[in-house]
Amino acid sequence: MKRKIELTVGTLSGALDRFEQVWDQAEAGKTQPAEIRLTFESLPLLLKNLTPARWTLLEAVKRSGPMSINELARLLARNYKNVHTDVKRLAELGLIERRPDQRIAVAWDTIIAKMKLAA
């Protein structure tokens, strides 16, 4: 099954409104497909967390499959400490998962970024 996550820029109140909407629909017996979303308060915050180097890291792990941080650092020709820091943050965000054997993997097939211009 293909897994996707949506990255958005929005407010906490907007996220709570979406939650309330889904809750009300569930109480009414209406079901919706599961939606997994990661919301950042601002575009600068999203870009601080998903830097070009981190995006390249995600692509490399997805393309190559589960691997150790050391293998990933060699593959990307980057410093181990920097790769470790990036992996740690991406894992905190839920974009990378650590397997029981300590290898890392990307569980997502698609990462969609949505940003709405303020009116």
What is the Rg, in whole angstroms, of the alpha carbon atoms belonging to the chain?
17
> How many residues comprise the chain?
119
Residue 119: what pLDDT?
Answer: 60
Rounded to the nearest angstrom, the gap between the alpha carbon of residue 6 and the centroid of all alpha carbons in its chain is 8
Residue 79: what pLDDT?
Answer: 97
> Which alpha helices (H) appear in 1-119, and where do they start and end?
12-27, 43-49, 52-64, 69-76, 80-93
**Per-domain residue ranges for the chain?**
4-114
Residue 1: what pLDDT?
Answer: 64
Tens-digit pLDDT string for the chain (119 aa): 678 898 988 877 777 787 788 788 888 888 777 778 888 988 899 999 999 999 999 999 999 999 999 999 999 999 999 999 999 999 999 999 999 999 999 989 898 887 777 66
Distance CA 56, CA 64 (A): 12
Residue 21: what pLDDT?
Answer: 82
* Cα dihedral 102, 113, 46, 81 in deg (nearest 10): 30
Distance CA 76, CA 66 (A): 14
CB 92 within 8 A of CB 100: no
- Residue type for 26, please? A
Distance CA 48, CA 29 (A): 40
Kindly indicate whether the domain formed by 4-114 is annotated with CATH number 1.10.10.10: yes
